[in-house]
Amino acid sequence: MDKNIMGIDFGTTNSKMAYLLLDEPTIIENNEGKKITPSIVYFKNEDEAVVGELAKRNMIVYPESTVVSIKREMGTDFKKKIGRHKFPPEYIGAQIFKKLADDAKIRLGKTFNDIVVSVPANYSDSQRQSIKDAAEIAGLNVLRLINEPTAAALAYGIKEDRDRKVLVYDFGGGTFDVSILSVSSGFFDVDASAGEHRLGGDDIDARIVEYLSKKAHEQVGIDVKKDLSLLATVRETSEEAKIALSCNESTMISIPFAANKAPFNTILTRIQLNGMISDLIERTKKPIEQALDDASLEKNEIDDILLVGGTTLIPAVRDFVTQYFGKEPVRGPDPYEAVALGAAVAGMEYGKEKSTIARNVEISDVISSSLGVLVADGTVNKILERNTKIPIIRTGNYTNAADFTNEVRIEVYQGEEEMAEDNEHLGDFFISVEPMPAFLDRV
């Protein structure tokens, strides 16, 4: 390829990066030789940040200076106070992007300035912009944001020549997305997407943390939540237990406590975990049904089900999907790697470097939420409905609501609610008009 393009999966728990090696998407290892980089940022001081495994180790000792799951705060007014400064999500996220880009250069001897970044399908415009801003603060040029399920389907379907209806069940560390795509000979056409941007492995970890905290208080009288370092230890232990129970029926948990307290030991079983998280898994059903309805499909019309995201490694999650659809999910790419691999594949489409690859890929996507404008009665007139295919141009006719005005203010909203105040306000712009009595001008 004429220029280096990297695909990045900016994850809640972990981040990954990939590129095309001899036309095949390939994961790039970080400077520690790992395929995944924890999305954790530890601030040594106001001017120096550490990202990844080292930050994860410091989380136990310096929890007040460590930020985890920053992806959940993108597009919000969250601020992390370090010394005299308060850092927004974009700045914190930029530290992760910079770590990935720097490590890629070290490992491959190539500079990656252009990237394709994956985002949850149900992300709002402000969340998407926040991710883009973070990458740009790190000095990277974002060619395109691609929805995570779409990226995963690219990794799965790059060699598929059959016409298929593919449902991507993407259960990651912080978000859940489901997308339905029509896949055919290099064409990836998104029919519908749905999801929740605050449902993921973090929520499962929180259930285990709550369980262990209660047990620790009962057995050794420790209040875990009053000790930030201890709480960080319990959180890390909870994540490790969750992973262990994906392969084993039970796992031993041992947490050494400070002062004169005895260590806390307990056994957590897979059956216990299933009971803790059954409602979280059940919550994924509604987005599935919404996506099927938007795509005008029945569940038996889905040809292939692709599981993406680390949370899909939990047996109870896989069992739920199998039981709901009445068939086993296909064996695709590693759930941890699929999104980054697909983002790299998308780079050859969005980077317009098709002459150098073995076959072309064409991608169409959809908007995750409806877009519309405020009208006189306080409601939103939708111009683009949720799951409208993009890119697209659409026009609408409006009029002036006041007499002899020189301009009309257009307020743009995103969301599904009828009243403007219940949706997300994206911004305003003004259009100059010829002054005339109300409702006579055309805009």
Among 148, 177, 205, 304, which one carries the catalytic annotation? 148
Among 29, 73, 133, 170, which one carries the catalytic annotation? 170
State how far the Cα of 173 lies from the Cα of 171, in Å rounded to an integer.
Answer: 7
170 is known as an active-site residue: yes
- C-alpha distance from residue 433 to each of 47, 184, 372, 405, 437 (Å): 50, 47, 20, 7, 12
Among 9, 103, 191, 202, which one carries the catalytic annotation? 9
SS3 122: coil
| Sheet strands (E) in 52-110 | 66-68, 80-82, 85-87
Orientation angle between helical segments 148-157 and 338-350, nearest 10 degrees: 90
71 is known as an active-site residue: yes
Question: How many CA atoms, within 13 angstroms, populate the side-chain half-sphere of residue 281?
Answer: 20
SS3 144: strand
227 is known as an active-site residue: no
Instruction: Mark 320-350 as b/e (b = at least 16 C-beta within 10 Å).
Output: bbeeebeeebeebbebbbbbbbbbbbbbbbb
Among 16, 29, 56, 71, which one carries the catalytic annotation? 71
Residue among 215, 211, 196 at smallest CA distance from 281: 196
State how far the Cα of 398 lies from the Cα of 406, in Å rounded to an integer.
Answer: 15
User: 428 — alpha (psi -120 to 50), left (phi > 0) or beta?
Assistant: beta
State how far the Cα of 157 lies from the Cα of 397, in Å rounded to an integer.
Answer: 41
State how far the Cα of 409 lies from the Cα of 326, in Å rounded to an integer.
Answer: 52
| Sheet strands (E) in 96-137 | 114-119
Which residues carry out catalysis? 9, 71, 148, 170
